[in-house]
Every structure is written in structure tokens, then in C-alpha cells.
Amino acid sequence: MIEVIDAQSCTSCDICVNVCPTNVFDKTDGIPVIARQGDCQTCFLCELYCPEDALFVSPFAEVAQHVDLEMLRQNALLGSYRRAVGWTEETKHRREIDRSYLLFGH
């Protein structure tokens, strides 16, 4: 489930409010709030769309987890999914390295 918005890096662009398919966030005058955490479907898509890597989705789908922002930063976990799919400037070559065709039919 979505666990945290990093207030240090969030620019209040509200993209996450827009793209979350289950409408988990609410706009505010400042940074958005996680208003309905229980509705989160753990799809990780808000992370992909956040331009600042300010969000973290824990892989636990059913129970809330305590997360430590400092640890996430140190372990380079913020933005890790976005980098993996090639949606950052430095990793954009990854958009075309899908090797599924070698794995299908196993």
C-alpha cells in the first residue's frame, strides 16, 4: 500500500492525485494527502508518474507498514520502479529491453 509522500521533494504538482486509479489521494493547498490508504490496490503506478520520486508504495497489499524515509533514501528505493522501467532520463534505454519473447512458452 502507499505509505508515504516525501514532503522534502514533493512539489505539489498533484499528478499523483490525478493518476491514481483508485482515488487514494486528495489535493490540499500544499502537498497532497493519502486520504484513503485502504483503497490502495498496490499497483505502484503513482510512483511511475511522480516526477520527483517522492512516493513510496510498500509491497504489502493488505497491511499498513511503518516505513522510514531516511532508510528508503539511503537504499535508493525511492524511484526504483521508475528507473527500472526506463521512465527517467538516465534509464530511458530500458524502455526497449523487454526480453519476454525469450521466456514465453516455458
Partner 1 sequence: MTVQSTRAQRVSARAGSVEFDADVLVIGGGPAGTWAAISAAEQGARVVLADKGFCGTSGATAAAGTGVWYVDPEPALREAAMANREKLGGHLQDRRWMSRVLDRTYEQSNRLADWGYPYPVDDKGKSQRNSLQGPEYMRLMRKRTKQAGVTILDHSPALELLVDEKGAVAGASGLRRQKHDRWTVRARAVVVATGGCAFLSKTLGSNVLTGDGYLMAAEAGAEFSSMEFSNPYAISAAYGSVTKTLFFGWATFTYEDGSVVPGAASKGGRSAIARALTQGPVYARLDKADGEVQRQMRVSQPNFFLPFDRTGIDPFADRFPVTLRLEGTVRGTGGLRIVDDSCATTVAGLYAAGDAATRELICGGFTGGGSHNAAWAISSGTFAGQGAADHARHFGPARGRRLSSAGIVALRQRAGRPVKPADLAKAVQNEVFPYELNYFREAGRLGGALERLDTLWTEVSQADAATADDVLRARESASMLATARWMYRSGLARQESRGMHRRDDFPDQDDRQRHYITSGGLDEVWTATRPHAEAVYAEAAE
Residue 102 interface partner, choices partner 1, ligand SF4, none, CB cut-off 5-8 Å depending on type: partner 1
Q: What are the residues facing 4 on neighbouring strands?
A: 56
Determine, following the binding rule CB under 6 A, whether residue 78 of this chain makes contact with ligand SF4. Answer: no
Q: Would you give the binding string for ligand SF4 spanning residues 9-48, x where CB under 6 A is met?
A: -xxxxxxx---x-x-x------xx-------xxxxxxx--
User: Which of 29, 70, 71, 99 is the binder for partner 1 (CB under 8 A)?
Assistant: 99
At 4, phi and psi to the nearest 5? -155, 145
Cβ neighbours of 58 (radius 10 Å) = 17
Do 27 and 18 form a contact (C-beta atoms < 8 A)?
no
